[in-house]
Homo-oligomer: A and B are copies of this chain.
């Protein structure tokens, strides 16, 4: 089965867990709204790519880990869009969850998606429980304290923040979890794979900063120029577009070099290249350079 089909099926199966008898219907709708239609699903794709490179001896567990990673990513978007944070009216080209369902259901949808992520992982590990403690730990490190997504968002509430620490927590940590989790789900050593996730996560964040500064809202599917409007750290604002683009290219090269020796190494490096071109398309760059000229 194609990777993207595996991911969508695993996410649908996860959400179905919450839609068993007796559930409140609006919360179930809000959770589906947060997860479908998806974005690029880059994190679960990375997770499954690493699992495949490591032999993927337990595909149901790799699917569960990939779905859990994406559920946590979606949960963080729902809460990040709330009025007290970004107050984003749209996400992925449709109304944000709090605009469509109200603020209370948006808070609850985020909470329930976090819980569902761990539940999904636990179910996926029913036949390989020995791998579950490590996977739970990897998942928690990606989203919790001290250096996961919630910690990253919390740096926005501190008077002083080191840009690298902020990005590593807000974005890099879940990418690292995706790579490490893919390896662990396949029974491999997670440590060798974390660097790939960390570099790719940082590249993704730098690309996001570039796009926020350079892109139009129509192209992004969400408002652009939000970092400036919300006075959030952004590498293009702080160090200029030229520096940001160079840094992005370095990170992609480092990510490719970090792939440990394995049968699927060439395929993985190719995937990283494809992602890099999707993240910072040539057309967007040329348009921005023309308008800045």
Contacts and interface: CB of A to CB of B under 8 A. Distances in A.
For this chain, the copies found in one complex come to 2
A22 to B, nearest CB: 5
A103 B98 CA distance: 15
A162 B75 CA distance: 28
A18 B158 contact: no
A133 B125 contact: yes
A26 to B, nearest CB: 6
Contacts of A28: 145-146
A157 B24 contact: yes
A114 B116 contact: no
Given A133-B122, A154-B26, A148 B104 contact: no
Interface in A147-168: 147-148, 150-151, 153-158, 165
Given A115-B114, A116-B140, A122-B137, A23 B151 contact: yes
A31 interface: yes
A136 B157 contact: no
Contacts of A125: 132-133
A246 interface: no
Interface in A4-29: 17-28
Contact of A157 (B102, B146, B165): B102
Q: How large is the interface on A (under 10, 10 to 19, 20 to 34, 35 or more residues)?
A: 35 or more
A164 to B, nearest CB: 11
Contacts of A154: 24, 26-27, 105, 108, 112
Given A119-B144, A132-B122, A146-B21, A27 B157 contact: yes
Given A115-B143, A146-B20, A148-B115, A157 B26 contact: yes
Contacts of A107: 79, 82, 84-85, 107
Interface of A: 17-28, 31, 75, 79, 82, 84-85, 102-105, 107-108, 110-112, 114-116, 118-119, 121-123, 125-126, 129-130, 132-133, 136-137, 139-141, 143-148, 150-151, 153-158, 165, 169
